[in-house]
A = this chain, B = another copy of it.
Amino acid sequence: MAKAVVLLSGGLDSAVALYVAKNRGFDVIALSFDYGQRHSRELRAAREIAVKAGVTDHQMVSLNMNSWGGSSLTDKNIEVENGDLDRSDIPVTYVPARNMIFLSIAASVAEANEAQNIFIGVSQVDYSGYVDCRQEFIDAMEKAINLGTVMGAERNMPIKVHAPFVNMTKAEEIKLGMELRVDFSLTWSCYRGGEKPCGTCDSCLLRAKAFAEAGFEDPALL
């Protein structure tokens, strides 16, 4: 059974990515990051999603990204602002080079486990200022991964980076997730943490809009 490393944040996108990987028949290694994010609520979600999906290999990586900051998600001196989906500038929740770091570590885990597949739940459609969610970035990383690992560069075991939603809207993702029986009640999107989603940050607004477009109620709010 071919192995796949799936980046699992605990959010909606990565949960669907996990089910897509399982649905394609991969033996999944889930990979989550404790990177000094403002709250650990999403890590609890990641654990619950992995258990529900029957993933037995769930690796947690610790990385003190908060020590160099540059984002409201890792620097508690910067406030998470209320959302505005029409804004075109870079949100303060942007974490410098985060997906690059996550994909690099996924490549290392993939090589240590001889997995030739990595899944990441990015989309360039609902792209809100995150440059590292675009197909051309994913392609550049895949190339770097295959030049920078022995599997890719010398053993003729190239590693493929799958971004199954890169050209899908979040509403389309939700529809797909519903078909694959993702338990969205376990997923966590809110930037602010707490016991219930705040409903006002960018991430909550995007999620609410997508559920409405998909024609479903958000099970996390029931």
Contacts and interface: CB of A to CB of B under 8 A. Distances in A.
A108 interface: yes
B68 A108 contact: yes
The A contact surface, by secondary structure, is helix
Given A131-B148, A134-B147, A141-B144, A100 B94 contact: no
A51 interface: no
A180 interface: no
B96 A100 contact: no
Interface residues of A, number: 49
Quickly give the copy total for this chain. 2
Given A100-B104, A108-B101, A147 B140 contact: yes
A193 interface: no
Interface string A106-135: 011111110000000000000001011010
B150 A140 contact: no
A79 to B, nearest CB: 17
A175 interface: no
